[in-house]
Amino acid sequence: MVDSSAADLVFHNGKILTLVPGAPPAEAIAVKDGLVQAVGSASGLHRLIGTGTEVINLQKRTVIPGVNDGHIHPMGLGTFRPPFTVSVGKDTVKSIAEIRDVIAGAVRAKRPGEWIRGFGWDQGYLAEGRFPSRQDLDDISPDHPVVLTQWSGHAAWVNSRALELAGIGRDTPSPDGGEIVKDGGGEPTGILLETASFAINAAIPPLTADERRQALILAARLMESEGITSITDAGIDLATVDLYADLVATGEFRQRLTIMIMASLVDDLREALLTVRELETDPRRMNISQVKIWADGVPTQARTAWVSEPYVGGGHGCLILPGNSEEEQLARYREWVMTAHDLGFQVGTHATGDRAIDTALDAYEQANRELGDKRLRHYVIHGDFSSPAALRRMASSGFGVSFNPSIKRSLSHQLVNVLGRDRTDYQWPYRTALGLGVNVASSSDAPVMHPDFRDGLTAIMTRKSMATGEVFGETERIGLDEALRTYTIAGAWQDRAEEWKGTLAKGMAGDLVVLGGDLVNTPPAEIADIPVNLTIVGGHVAYDSSAVSQNIAG
């Protein structure tokens, strides 16, 4: 006789961090019908083991709730990886010379004239210590156009063939919001900043529908291997919504998915939102509930974050919204926020500089005032320089913020001569924000950073530069428990789903991760090295590192 109370899965002999406030680590957890059935001691859960129960001895390993990467771009993550793109990131190459070798290999593998795309270079990690140029690529790839996108996505490095195909020459003026970098003789160097790279993108043949599908599947498998069970896709068009709906239906995309409609990618936001509102989906699998709006740029060497205190060397950055004047841009921004709020959609605004962040909060508060506070939990994406006053406004109005710790770990050492020391230290003020009661979710912004929450935990807890080991903002450090919450329950809050996911308690979603180590007793700097062993979504094994290693061995 089948015991109807028997669990599907029981994990025992482990350290289960339930993240239920005040609860000590548990020894065992049972999952049934996709939900947590019980949490407790091994002896207490023994009665739930039936003939069909899979029992897993954790051997003292750590279990945490499934990771919620609350701001990520899966299509970019998939297409910026092989076979679509060669990697020229700092994990694989250390110099321009090594990048030349990688590109020479790609040239041999492709038909003449085919585009070679690469991703991930970071001039701060190149041994030559300078910006690269088209000449670095021309002799090895005279016939294949080459475009290598910088890690941040805000700069491209191309060869002369690519410039030619994009129609960029010495007489081409830089477009609004971008720069064609030129040398002393007035010739393009091959570095294109911000909107200047759009001409290159337009010259590259678009991915086919099948390639786009394969890219999303690639991203899904990669995210599963990183312990990610919930994501927010930070801004897509309606065609990609359809693609996701199909992949969710076929089971090829298994993460719980929150979708943001990108305001700038649809002709008419109201019409687009009314269209997607009609789609029937299981909201626990695919929730089309948010609108993404870009307000300003980024606080890097590009100096495009909109800030009140000038950059080192001058400038305040700017809004990058459509419009011919600041007034027009602000009016468009408010109109988008009001439209989304009116239709019950939550808004996430890309805002990094303090002026852009305040602008977002002004619009959110206005929407609450004029259209009624619908508890939509609008939030600020990135929010690098949220002032204490802005954080207080977020806390009191129930708005959230989504921080990117791995970007800080990767970039801080390059920013002092852009932002000054105090601002570099303050960037992403975890301690201040949590102290003021703001919901802080952490996310990777992949493909900007690898979607690795363990790297993020190390970044949050140490605030150390990966390149130099220097600490940037010691007083803004937080501990493991709080840091882990930013990757789990805080993401669930952002999804308006903390009632059913983000912690491991009876009745919550059976989304969990088994880590190959003792997370609590690992020094913060070494957390980044703990492997993910198992990822479970809704009680189903989505990733099993032992199966992967067996496949490799076999």
- Residues found near Zn ion in the complex (CB under 5 A): 234, 445
Identify whether the C-beta of residue 290 lies closer than 8 Å to the C-beta of residue 330. Answer: no
Distance CA 100, CA 157 (A): 12
Contact between residue 72 and residue 442 where contact means Cβ atoms under 8 Å apart:
no
For Zn ion, the closer of residues 148 and 234 by Cβ is 234
- DSSP class of residue 289? E
Contact 48, 37 (CB under 8 A): yes
Comparing CB distances to Zn ion, the nearer of 30 and 295 is: 295
CB of 406 to Zn ion, least distance (A): 13
- Rounded to the nearest whole angstrom, what is the least distance from the CB of residue 216 to Zn ion in the complex? 16
Contacts of residue 207, Cβ cutoff 8 Å, sequence gap at least 6: 79, 84, 215
Q: Which of 545, 499, 496 is nearest to 224 (CA)?
A: 545
Nearer to Zn ion, 234 or 247 (CB): 234
* C-beta closer to Zn ion: residue 377 or 382: 382
User: How many angstroms separate the CA atoms of 496 and 377, rounded?
Assistant: 8
Q: How far is the CB of 73 from Zn ion (least distance, A)?
A: 6
In this complex, which beta carbon is closest to Zn ion, that of residue 381 or of residue 489? 381
Q: How far is the CB of 67 from Zn ion (least distance, A)?
A: 17
Compare residues 235 and 539 and give the one whose CB is closer to Zn ion: 235
As a whole number of angstroms, the distance between CA 504 and CA 495 comes to 17
CB 28 within 8 A of CB 47: no
Between residues 70 and 473, which has the closer beta carbon with respect to Zn ion? 70
| SS3 state of residue 274 | helix
CA 467 to chain centre: 21
Find all residues with CB under 8 Å of 380, minimum gap 6, and list them: 348, 349, 351, 357, 360, 361, 386, 394, 399, 400, 401, 402
The closest residue (CB) to Zn ion is 445
Using CA atoms, how far residue 27 sits from 17, 55, 413, 488, in Å, is 9, 13, 41, 20
Among residues 231 and 434, whose Cβ is nearest to Zn ion?
Answer: 231
Whole-number Å distance between alpha carbons of 442 and 453: 8
Q: How far is the CB of 447 from Zn ion (least distance, A)?
A: 9
Per DSSP, the three-state class of 44 is helix
To the nearest whole angstrom, how small is the minimum distance from the Cβ of residue 153 to Zn ion?
A: 8
Give the integer Cα–Cα distance in Å for 189 and 169: 10
Q: Which is nearer to Zn ion, 163 or 381 (CB)?
A: 381
Shortest spacing between CB 167 and Zn ion, in angstroms: 29
CB of 445 to Zn ion, least distance (A): 4
- We find the least distance from the C-beta atom of residue 96 to Zn ion, in angstroms, to be 27
Calculate ∠ Cα 354-383-92, nearest 5°: 125
Using only C-alpha atoms, the chain has a radius of gyration, in whole angstroms, of 24
- Phi then psi dihedrals of residue 291, to 5 deg: -125, 135
Give the span between the Cα atoms of 234 and 420, in whole angstroms: 30
For the residues of 509-531, what is the DSSP string, one character each? B--EEEESS-STTS-GGGGGGPP
Using the minimum distance from each CB to Zn ion, give the nearer residue, 29 or 234. 234
What span, in angstroms and rounded, lies between the C-alpha atoms of 501 and 231?
12
Please, which residue, 30 or 75, has the CB nearer to Zn ion?
75
Specify whether the CB–CB gap between 453 and 226 falls below 8 A. yes
| Smallest separation (angstroms) from Zn ion to the CB of 352 | 11
CB of 145 to Zn ion, least distance (A): 26
Whole-number minimum distance, CB 455 to Zn ion, in Å? 17
Considering the complex, state which of residue 194 and residue 445 has its C-beta at the smaller distance from Zn ion. Answer: 445
Q: Are 5 and 48 in contact (CB under 8 A)?
A: yes
Neighbours of 440 (CB within 10 A): 29
